[in-house]
Amino acid sequence: MTMTQPEVLTKPYQIAPDVFVLPFQQFAPPVGFHAEVDRIQSLPIGAIASAHTPAIRGGAIARSFGLLRGLPDAEPWAPYTQADLDSWVAAMAGSGHPAG
Q: Which residue has the higher pLDDT, 67 or 49?
A: 49
CB count, 10 Å around CB of 26?
12
| C-alpha atoms less than 13 angstroms from C-alpha of 9 in its C-beta half-sphere | 17
pLDDT digits 0-9 by tens, 22-34: 666 667 788 888 8
Q: What is the mean pLDDT of the chain?
A: 75
Report the residue count for the chain. Answer: 100
Domain regions of the chain by residue span: 5-93
The C-alpha atoms of residue 76 and residue 97 are separated, in whole angstroms, by 31
Using pLDDT thresholds of 50, 70 and 90, give the confidence band for residue 96: low
